[in-house]
């Protein structure tokens, strides 16, 4: 199966985003217990970051 350059860069981008999400999740878990409020705020922030990156592409 041949992928075009565009498809390859899209896949790489999606993989980068997934890695960012995983890294954000593990950073959050490393901090131990957080209130639900803090948790929601952190998720919203990482969501915004990801949307920001997606707009670049």
Q: What is the pLDDT of residues 34-46, one digit of tens each?
A: 667 777 888 888 8
**Burial class of residue 28, CB neighbours in 10 A (0-12, 13-18, 19+):** middle
pTM exceeds 0.75: no
Region for 51 from its dihedrals, namely left if φ exceeds 0, alpha if ψ lies in -120 to 50, beta otherwise:
alpha
pLDDT in tens, 5-45: 888 888 888 888 888 888 887 777 666 656 677 778 888 88
């Amino acid at each position: 199966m041949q992928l075009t350059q565009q498809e390859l860069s899209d896949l790489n981008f999606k993989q980068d985003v997934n890695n960012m999400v995983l890294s954000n999740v593990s950073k959050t878990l490393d901090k131990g217990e957080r209130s639900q409020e803090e948790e929601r705020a952190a998720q919203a922030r990482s969501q915004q970051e990801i949307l920001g990156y997606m707009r670049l592409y």
